[in-house]
Structure 1
Amino acid sequence: MGEVIRLISKSDRERERLIREARELYDRIFPPENVAIDGQRDTSPENLGFGGGDARHEGFSS
């Protein structure tokens, strides 16, 4: 007892699968620049381009 079973709809599972596949495809086309030693992508805020200049868009001015 005390276990919680979370039911996930088929459409939610399909959505998660599509998102996962899209991320894998994107990472193959545009390899992440910040990869940790264990092979996991570095998702710390300073490496996601939030709040600072993104090196890929430095020459762009609006």
Structure 2
Amino acid sequence: MGDVVRFVPKSELERARLIAEARAIYDSIFPPAAPDRAPQDGEERVKT
């Protein structure tokens, strides 16, 4: 007893879904830097 049920508007759920989708697309185009990863063939080492 005493549980609080929060109403989440449909627009807020849609906004969160779109942000997650955009982030996934961005990460597929610009993968996060992995400094411990060895360069692949034909790839230069990134200096930081």
Bin of the TM-score, shorter chain as denominator length = 0.5 to 0.7
2:26 pairs with 1:26: yes
Q: Count residues with an aligned counterpart.
A: 35
Percent identity over the alignment is 57
Structure 1: unaligned runs, 5 residues or longer = 35-54, 56-62
Structure 2: unaligned runs, 5 residues or longer = 35-47
After TM superposition, the score normalised by the length of structure 1 is: 0.51
Deviation beyond 6 Å, 4+ runs, structure 1? none
> 1:3 matched to which residue of 2?
3
Deviations 1:26-53 (A, max 9, x none): 000000115xxxxxxxxxxxxxxxxxxx
After TM superposition, the score normalised by the length of structure 2 is: 0.64
> 1:16 matched to which residue of 2?
16
